[in-house]
Structure 1
């Protein structure tokens, strides 16, 4: 009875103050009901996204509007174009967005529903990932280190990242598939891994390390570690990838968005140049990327160096960690293109942080039988410190990306979207 009443109150609070309803529900409900609150909040969060010019959300809404008069035969034709890797300008290159855009733009004819549906799907897999990782025992002592690591996992790719639609939804689908399979051996999770390219074609490649991790228990751990370490010193030649991509117009366009050569044959990494020339404050410049990648790999090296890998891990922890370091190998090999490296390493860090959190939840880092116990305590905090720019960046970015109507009265923005403004803009009135 208590859970039903609390769930009802949480849902009511979501309609009055979404953020308050989220915190109340997460704090007081069991995971069975907590997932529903996270999912509903994600849906509301999506409904309050601002469609600024040049931002991901604005571009997607413009694209959805182009589906307004699309016939069913055109919808089917475009499916085959996507499967054949044919480039159709102005339309998506992934099935997930194509299906959503047609459903919202053509069948319903109301583009404002696009992001609430995106939020619903994103929230479903995000909540599923949190449930699988954050399994606490009753009366479990909550340490400061545990609070920090849980927070890092939660904010790594949180609600504000749903604007990209494809990339991080696909990542959470992949993560649910990998961890779910290692925890239960249920084959339905293999299906989740298999459908990740439906969300973003890049997962035809990005999912390969996770698939390899399913069979990695047969491989000596030293071999995996050596491959991981060596990957930091090598990369695939960018010119080879460019030449290969020229065989397909879509592939060539995708590669050139990350990496190209000038007329003299010199390498140009478009995204890395943009970052280097950026005049952003330090936490924005490093917190979005470098801090996360340094911290994630530092945690991996920490787990390897102090003998946690496999020896002091459960089957699920070992499997997820293997998926993480193999994904990091792929990222390092593709580091000639910073965009590919960045997206792939972000996926790797998700697996790495999940492993650290699961070990911390069962108090695995405070086992007095650990060799070099004091060094373990020192270096685990050293890894956390590397994430400080990320934490600051998340707070700043969340305030900019999140509507102030997530604080109170979201329905006002639903009736009049022109009222929408960010929490940062709201605070700017008083600061």
Structure 2
């Protein structure tokens, strides 16, 4: 792409990020895709709408309350407390949010910049991860099924990850570092993998089953058996409680996430009962949870036949081993529905990536026409059943992004609290 084309695309991004994105997807240059992917996410972050009660609003409120005019000394004192998992302050609970909150609210004096910084970081690792999955096959002709899975990938905890900032940014960092290391064996990617812990400390927990899956990635039958058995296994929290470090941060999170008493069970059941009574659209009810708890396991069962095939390559085996290893772990840690649910989503990313890799390399499995037809039908059913998840993600995006993400995003910067979402803008127009 020529410099004039880049300049035009930059102007187009600031005029209409959506039109800029459409034009960007025509590019086959990795560097261009990464640069403008970062820019797109950064602009989207600048157009984030702070809905009452959302994670994004709580992060902004915390940045204003705790980080405005924070001294360098206090910043580094709290940095050390977070690094040792002994933070007792009312600020961030992870180093990543601590740093971007300080930069936004104290250094630049604009707390809303937390979502611009979050967008830039997320955009970088998301763009790098997607290109790594597509493995230099941007110019390869793709059938409709493959395109369908790529669309699912592009919507899977991507732009919507800016709301929570930490967890799903950490997922893309974790994925990029893991797959890059497995592909190249370069140690620098282990540092990127560990960077996910800096973004959200819960990746310390995710790292445990991942290491086990990596060690057994070539023992496909062992992992397959463990995966199938995990649906009937349950780990008791009391059996591992003594092995967990006793720090103030870990203990506070344990109280919030672990269900280990009758009171916790009653509280969880009450919360679920309230949620079930809320009038929701079908894609909210059957979107994300149905996708990760039903569709991903169903897809995994199909992929297991290829996982245990002699034609499977190391890349596919790694993605599958990671996916089923993490999913197996999520099945046995039912004492923490929050951890279990989040790990399922991370596992889902590896399974989707494995499916895309399989479709790129399907010819080497030497399947008969009958089996190819059967596989295609199963994958089409999966994609059709994924429509509620796609609608859920799109619905989520139009609620958290300013109407001016569609055109003239700088208007959103000056409106402040008077800004409104795409959904609100559409309702006003029609």
**Whole-Å separation in 2 of the counterparts to 1:266 and 1:128:** 41
**Whole-Å separation in 1 of the counterparts to 2:159 and 2:307:** 31
Tell whether the 8 Å contact from 2:197 to 2:203 is kept in structure 1 after alignment: yes
Q: Over residues 284-317 of structure 1, what are the superposed CA-to-partner deviations in whole Å (9 max), with x where a residue is unaligned?
A: 022022223322221211111x334453333222
Instruction: Answer yes or no: is 1:224 the counterpart of 2:223.
Output: yes
**Cα 1:79/1:166, change in 2 over 3 Å:** same
Tell whether the 8 Å contact from 1:296 to 1:352 is kept in structure 2 after alignment: yes
Q: Over residues 23-68 of structure 1, what are the superposed CA-to-partner deviations in whole Å (9 max), with x where a residue is unaligned?
A: 1012135122111111001000001111222111111111111211
What residue number does 1:279 align with? 279
Which consecutive residues of structure 2, in runs of 5 or more, have no partner in the other structure? none
What residue number does 1:88 align with? 88
1:102 is displaced (CA, Å) by 1.8
What residue number does 1:163 align with? 163
1:104 is displaced (CA, Å) by 2.0
**Cα 1:101/1:223, change in 2 over 3 Å:** same
Q: Over residues 3-28 of structure 1, what are the superposed CA-to-partner deviations in whole Å (9 max), with x where a residue is unaligned?
A: 43332221110010011111101213
**Whole-Å separation in 1 of the counterparts to 2:155 and 2:33:** 17
1:250 is displaced (CA, Å) by 3.0
SS for the counterpart of 1:164 is: coil
**Whole-Å separation in 2 of the counterparts to 1:379 and 1:332:** 24
Tell whether the 8 Å contact from 2:306 to 2:312 is kept in structure 1 after alignment: no
1:366 is displaced (CA, Å) by 9.0
**Whole-Å separation in 2 of the counterparts to 1:26 and 1:227:** 40
**Whole-Å separation in 2 of the counterparts to 1:265 and 1:324:** 29
**Cα 1:246/1:53, change in 2 over 3 Å:** farther
Between 1:351-360 and 1:418-427, the stretch displaced more is 418-427
Give 1:132-171 correspondences, 5 Å limit.
Answer: 132-135=132-135, 137=137, 140-171=140-171
**Whole-Å separation in 2 of the counterparts to 1:18 and 1:58:** 23
**Whole-Å separation in 1 of the counterparts to 2:224 and 2:371:** 21
Instruction: Answer yes or no: is 1:233 the counterpart of 2:245.
Output: no
**Whole-Å separation in 2 of the counterparts to 1:404 and 1:163:** 16
1:236 is displaced (CA, Å) by 1.6
Give 1:19-58 correspondences, 5 Å limit.
Answer: 19-58=18-57
Give 1:43-82 correspondences, 5 Å limit.
Answer: 43-65=42-64, 66-82=66-82
1:399 is displaced (CA, Å) by 1.8
**Whole-Å separation in 2 of the counterparts to 1:40 and 1:126:** 12
TM-score (ref. length: structure 1):
0.91
Q: Over residues 192-248 of structure 1, what are the superposed CA-to-partner deviations in whole Å (9 max), with x where a residue is unaligned?
A: 11222111110001122333343324x521111011111111122245567887954
Tell whether the 8 Å contact from 1:269 to 1:338 is kept in structure 2 after alignment: no
Tell me the matched-pair count.
428
**Whole-Å separation in 2 of the counterparts to 1:242 and 1:188:** 33
User: What is the root-mean-square deviation in Å for CA atoms of aligned residues?
Assistant: 2.6
**Whole-Å separation in 2 of the counterparts to 1:295 and 1:174:** 23
1:253 is displaced (CA, Å) by 2.7
**Whole-Å separation in 2 of the counterparts to 1:264 and 1:406:** 45
Between 1:385-394 and 1:14-23, the stretch displaced more is 385-394
Tell whether the 8 Å contact from 1:269 to 1:337 is kept in structure 2 after alignment: no
What residue number does 1:120 align with? 120
**Whole-Å separation in 1 of the counterparts to 2:264 and 2:214:** 40
Q: Over residues 106-137 of structure 1, what are the superposed CA-to-partner deviations in whole Å (9 max), with x where a residue is unaligned?
A: 22222122111111011110011011012354
**Cα 1:265/1:154, change in 2 over 3 Å:** closer
What residue number does 2:359 align with? 360
Q: Over residues 330-364 of structure 1, what are the superposed CA-to-partner deviations in whole Å (9 max), with x where a residue is unaligned?
A: 11111232211111100000000011112223445
**Whole-Å separation in 1 of the counterparts to 2:243 and 2:282:** 37
**Whole-Å separation in 2 of the counterparts to 1:419 and 1:250:** 36
**Whole-Å separation in 2 of the counterparts to 1:276 and 1:236:** 27
**Whole-Å separation in 1 of the counterparts to 2:353 and 2:164:** 22
Tell whether the 8 Å contact from 1:6 to 1:29 is kept in structure 2 after alignment: no
What residue number does 1:292 align with? 292
Tell whether the 8 Å contact from 1:129 to 1:176 is kept in structure 2 after alignment: yes
